[in-house]
Amino acid sequence: MMPPHYFLLVAALLFAIGCVGVLIRRNAIVILMCIELMLNAVNLTFAAFANESQSMTGHVFVFFVMTVAAAEAAVGLAIVIALFRRRRTTDVDDASLLRW
Amino acid sequence: MMERDVVVRLLLRLIMVVVAYAVIRILAPARTLLAGAALGAGALALVALNPGALASVEFWAGLVGFAAILSALMIVIHPNPMVSVLFLIVNLFCVALFYLFLNAQFLAAIQIIIYAGAIMVLFLFVVMLLNLKAEEGLTARGGPQRYGAIVLGGLFAGLLFDAILHRGPQPYFDPGTFASGFGTARELGGLLFTRYLFAFEAASLLLIAAMIGAVVLAKRRLR
Amino acid sequence: MDPAVTRILVESTVKIALFFFVVLTVIAYMTWVERRVSAWIQDRRGPNRVGPFGLLQPLADGIKFLFKEAIVPPHVYRPVYLMAPALIFIPSMITLAVVPIGPAVSLFGRRIALQVADVDNGILIILAFASMGVYGIALAGWSSQNKYSLMGGLRSSAQLISYELAMGITIVGVLMATGSLRLNDIVTHQMEHGWNVLYQLPGFLIFLTAAFAESNRLPFDLPEAETELVAGYHTEYSGMRFSMFFMAEYANMITGSALATTLYFGGYHVPGLAALGLSETAAALVQVLAFCLKVAFFLFVFVWVRWTLPRFRYDQLMNLGWKALLPVALLHLLWVSFLVLTGRG
């Protein structure tokens, strides 16, 4: 059997890669995708802990995180589309009207 | 100790991934073929060295972990957003396979249905409709901030590794008490409709709000 | 290696190989069936020159496609372009892997389930890979880097996701009646309580309509119609890759028929078989034959509807999916829950 550490470490690595992605990339859609990557890493951590302590509560959490992720992806992409219609660019550096 | 072994193997794997990618980018013209040949040769070597490995969970979990980390790196590195979408789909599949390793069979199917089958289709549609081209390379603008982000990301990963490896005493997992219904839809449904009923109903409200919000935000203004 | 693992590997490999061979042969001969049945409907002969009754026609067609020049246009995005036809084919194959063809038999001294993968959540696997089928078409349209293919791919994917919603809800109806996600349990439940089509008829009709839409068959084949958008998402494909799209369409048809049989028509159940008192292997053989006949009937229905009904316009298609099928599916779900509560389902 795999030691539970393994899944936690892989999830931590995926989370860190997602964080770096959000910080590095300029395309709004790729940033949203890196956020989804981070959410998946968190789901994996929940599932690993649920398996270790044989408690289904972890799975319930994963279920709700997936629901929220779906809702957030839909609304986020709608915002990106609305922004794109106005400015013809998905570069987040160009959405700077409210900056000083 | 077992944890050191796991960490060392994981780090070695990550270094292999980064080196493989660097080599591929340097030898740009024939990269797909070369990359495929290299990975195939590596996999064959691994299997030839230890044929019994094909039946061990560690080998397959390691392989899926390798694929997950490689695809996550490619999401962040590749300039074309459509290719990033495809690598995210691969990553979501790898996470679904991880759920299978963790006895979460319902979650694995749900991950494919919702994440890889619905959310990623949404991303795919948006990228196709907006007809996005590849953005310029990673070091085009805002140079030092990007390198700083990578370094801090590495430090963050190190911090997380440290926290995981030095956990407090965890409950002892006795395989003998493994409940055969663990991870099935029946168990999850039992919890969702009794103890977490309020959260379930609130989530359905959230989904309706998100649907209405998405339709309104993306609608063209009617002149 | 552990003998148990070796046994499982060998068993699975043999089943997968047999399964692939059978499905690919059926796909090839579906082209012949389509041409002969359409000829019969249109009061003419079909192919009858190549071999007796034209039975070698699929072979001739295959050879023709193999010898065609497979042009890969230079402007396409190559990795995805080459991968897309396979991406349409693979999900329908995986869906077929969980469908039970017959009851478990005792062969070579052990019980073998007549199903490639007997998983505990078969229905979820079906739903999962029905949603994965969207990618092949959308990616084929995008990778061709051509506005007509893009629009065709987008339209087709929008059609697929709209109809898979109604399909999912009717499957939930079957699931409620059965109380289990395993496909074997669904067949067993229908053996005891009567076929699902008898008291879930609206659900069956919605499922069949959605299956037509999912496999891009008339009356829903706007994305690939010759008169629309040049040729939709397979404009830039030629030769063997082009034929892969049609093979994938037939594979989707077979999957839809197999699912309709298993979920609504009792799968491999033959009413009154127990009374005949056959040996176990013979009974299993009869049940497998019954399953094949039911699937063949549904394939005939697919072909029949194609050559009878005219094509839907795109907005009519989307209206039907969202404004007609979805509310009816939800009402049907209410009806099934009423049946289950009063103990009839």
Give domain limits for chain C: 1-67, 70-341
* Per-residue DSSP letter, A91: B
- Nearest CA-CA distance, residue B108 and chain C, Å: 9
Compare B54 and A80 and report the one with higher pLDDT.
A80
Of the partner residues B102, B115, B211, the one whose CB lies closest to the CB of residue A47:
B102
Q: How far is CA B75 from CA A24, B10, B96, C14, C78, in A?
A: 12, 20, 18, 37, 19
Question: Distance between CA atoms of B78 and A98, rounded to whole angstroms?
Answer: 30
CB contact under 8 A, A73 and B123: yes
Task: Print burial letters for C146-173: b (CB count within 10 Å at least 16), e (below 16).
Answer: bebbbbbbbbbbbbbbbbbbbbbbbbbb
Q: Looking at chain A, list the stretches that DSSP marks H as alpha helix, in order from N- to C-terminal side.
A: 4-24, 28-53, 57-87
**Under a CB-based contact definition with an 8 Å cutoff, are residues A28 and A83 in contact?**
yes
Q: What pLDDT does C240 receive?
A: 81
Query: Do A and C make contact, counting contact as 3+ CB pairs within 8 angstroms?
Result: no
CB atoms within 10 A of CB C63: 10
Beta-bridged to residue C106, according to DSSP, are C111
Q: pLDDT by residue (tens digit) across B4-23?
A: 666 666 666 766 766 666 66
pLDDT at residue B29 is higher than 50: no
Chains contacting C (3 or more CB pairs within 8 Å):
B
Cα angle: A62, vertex A65, A66; to 5 degrees:
85
Of the partner residues C77, C80, C127, the one whose CB lies closest to the CB of residue B113:
C127
List the single best residue of B66, B86, B91 to mutate versus A (max A Cβ within 10 A): B91
Q: What pLDDT does B139 receive?
A: 47
Q: Does residue A78 sit in helix, strand or coil? A: helix
Name C335's Cβ contacts closer than 8 Å, sequence gap at least 6.
C202
CB contact under 8 A, B89 and C135: yes
**Under a CB-based contact definition with an 8 Å cutoff, are residues C219 and C310 in contact?**
yes
**Under a CB-based contact definition with an 8 Å cutoff, are residues A61 and B199 in contact?**
no
Contacts of C158 in chain B (CB under 8 A): 125
Compare C231 and A18 and report the one with higher pLDDT.
A18
Q: What pLDDT does B32 receive?
A: 58
* Per-residue DSSP letter, B131: T
**Nearest residue to A75 via CA among B122, B91, B75:** B122
- Nearest CA-CA distance, residue C299 and chain B, Å: 27
Amino acid identity, position B48: A
Question: Distance between CA atoms of C143 and B121, rounded to whole angstroms?
Answer: 15
Compare A98 and A57 and report the one with higher pLDDT.
A57
Question: Distance between CA atoms of C191 and C185, rounded to whole angstroms?
Answer: 10
CB contact under 8 A, B112 and C2: no
Of the partner residues A2, A16, A78, the one whose CB lies closest to the CB of residue B57:
A2
Poorest-pLDDT segment among A22-26, B36-40, C149-153: B36-40
> Could you report the predicted ipTM of this complex, rounded to two decimals?
0.93
Compare B150 and C335 and report the one with higher pLDDT.
C335
**Under a CB-based contact definition with an 8 Å cutoff, are residues A33 and B87 in contact?**
no
Of the partner residues B130, B192, B211, the one whose CB lies closest to the CB of residue A60:
B192
CB-based contact (8 Å) between C90 and chain B? no
Cα angle: C51, vertex C53, C59; to 5 degrees:
45
Question: Distance between CA atoms of A20 and C228, rounded to whole angstroms?
Answer: 45
Query: Which residues of chain C form beta strands (DSSP E)?
Result: 102-107, 110-114
Amino acid identity, position A78: A
pLDDT at residue B175 is higher than 60: no
pLDDT tier at B141, thresholds 50, 70, 90: low
Q: What are phi and psi of C107, to 5 degrees?
A: -120, 145
Element at C112 (helix H, strand E): strand C110-114
Q: What pLDDT does B7 receive?
A: 62
Name B11's Cβ contacts closer than 8 Å, sequence gap at least 6.
none
By DSSP bridging, strand C102-107 and strand C110-114 are antiparallel
Question: Distance between CA atoms of A17 and A41, rounded to whole angstroms?
Answer: 10
Q: Please give the average per-residue pLDDT across B145-156, as a whole number.
A: 86
pLDDT tier at A25, thresholds 50, 70, 90: confident
Cα end-to-end span (Å), chain A: 55
User: If you measure CA to CA, which chain B residue comes closest to C156?
Assistant: B125
Question: Distance between CA atoms of A37 and B95, rounded to whole angstroms?
Answer: 10
Residues of chain C with pLDDT under 70: 1, 109, 223-230, 345
Question: Distance between CA atoms of C68 and B121, rounded to whole angstroms?
Answer: 33
Q: What percent of chain A has pLDDT over 70?
A: 96
A positions 57-86 inside 8 Å of B (CB)? 57, 59-60, 62-64, 66-75, 77-82, 84-85
CB pairs under 8 A between B and C: 69
CB-based contact (8 Å) between A94 and chain B? no
Structure tokens at B67: 């694929």
Mean pLDDT estimate for chain B? 79
Element at C104 (helix H, strand E): strand C102-107
B positions 40-99 inside 8 Å of A (CB)? 57-58, 61, 65, 68-69, 72-73, 75-76, 81, 84-85, 88, 91-92, 95, 98-99
Q: How far is CA C224 from CA B21, C78, C261, C307, C316, in A?
A: 39, 22, 27, 16, 16
Compare B70 and A38 and report the one with higher pLDDT.
A38
pLDDT at residue B2 is higher than 70: no
pLDDT at residue A100 is higher than 80: no
**Nearest residue to B104 via CA among A43, C250, C71, A16:** A43
Cα angle: C52, vertex C56, C57; to 5 degrees:
110
CB contact under 8 A, B126 and A81: yes
Q: Does residue C107 sit in helix, strand or coil? A: strand
**Under a CB-based contact definition with an 8 Å cutoff, are residues A44 and B98 in contact?**
yes
Q: Please give the average per-residue pLDDT across B119-135, as a whole number.
A: 84
Element at B6 (helix H, strand E): helix B2-26
pTM: predicted TM-score of the whole model, two decimal places? 0.89
Question: Distance between CA atoms of C5 and C11, rounded to whole angstroms?
Answer: 10
- Nearest CA-CA distance, residue B37 and chain A, Å: 26
pLDDT tier at B1, thresholds 50, 70, 90: very low
**Nearest residue to C223 via CA among C168, C162, C319, C158:** C158
Compare A100 and C104 and report the one with higher pLDDT.
C104
Structural domains in chain A plus CATH codes: 4-89 (1.10.287.3510)
Name B22's Cβ contacts closer than 8 Å, sequence gap at least 6.
none
C positions 169-208 inside 8 Å of B (CB)? 181
